[in-house]
Amino acid sequence: MQLKRVAQAKLPTPWGCFTIVGFEEIATGKDHVALVFGDVNDQTSILTRVHSECLTGDALFSLRCDCGFQLEAALKQIAKEGKGILIYHRQEGRNIGLLNKIRAYALQDQGLDTVEANEQLGFAPDERDFTLCADMLTLLGVSQIRLLTNNPEKIKVLEQAGIKVTERVPLEVGENANNEHYLATKANKLGHLLHLHPGNH
């Protein structure tokens, strides 16, 4: 177990009142949170979103990605379901950090795709560690989930870490003229399961 659970409080949102639960990485002190809606301890397969931190998309309304759209859609869907969990995984920019992400954006402005930009900066295409998310789910008492994702790698890592994924629930939102190339790269180079509509904007 790489994490410990340290705090929780009510978090009212436009879609309903969630409970925000704070976790701390034991080795580094880095923090992550989960937003929990309703009763998730009834041993059913819980609708869950593992959402990686994206300051530009989640808070600054960037159209370069689909992250902010996915965050809002997932919270709405969980609230509509009546119970569920959103893991907010604080590994910005596929875990290269905010400033390196801005450097990667600059390289993308020069014509590189997201994978090429990360590699030019000396990183792997995706540096994230989703086993932390499995630890968060375990600490929340959840072992079976229906995962809101387009990324099969999340399913693979969570299952290897002991979380049973009973269903993949697609989360395809936010496609626009600014992120067509980004989404195509996710599909073609990172294996994300997307149905893209190029030019339909």
Please say if 58 is a catalytic residue: no
Is 133 within any annotated ligand binding site? no
Q: Could you please report the per-residue DSSP string of 128-197?
A: --THHHHHHHHHTT--EEEEE-S-HHHHHHHHHTT-EEEEEE-------TTTHHHHHHHHHHH-------
53 among annotated binding-site residues: yes
Told to judge if 39 belongs to the known catalytic residues of this protein, a careful annotator would answer no
Tokens of 86: 């959103």
114 has binding-site annotation: yes
Q: Which of 58, 66, 113, 128 is catalytic?
A: 128
- How far, in Å, are 96, 109, 116, 167, 198 from residue 129 at the CA level? 12, 27, 20, 21, 31
93 is in an annotated binding site: yes
- Residue 78 token pair: 């969980």
Choose, from 126, 129, 135, 146, the residue flagged as catalytic: 126
142 is in an annotated binding site: no
Annotated binding residue at 49?
yes
The answer to the question of whether 51 is labelled as a binding residue is yes
Q: Is 50 annotated as a binding residue?
A: yes
Taking the CA atoms of 67, 122, 153 and 156 in sequence, report the sign of the dihedral they define. Answer: negative
Nearest-angstrom CA–CA distance, 46 and 30: 26
Q: Is 70 annotated as a binding residue?
A: yes
Binding residues for Zn(2+): 54, 65, 67
Residues making up the annotated binding site for GTP are 49-53, 70, 92-94, 114, 149, 154
Just list the catalytic residues: 126, 128
> Which residues define the annotated binding site?
49-54, 65, 67, 70, 92-94, 114, 149, 154
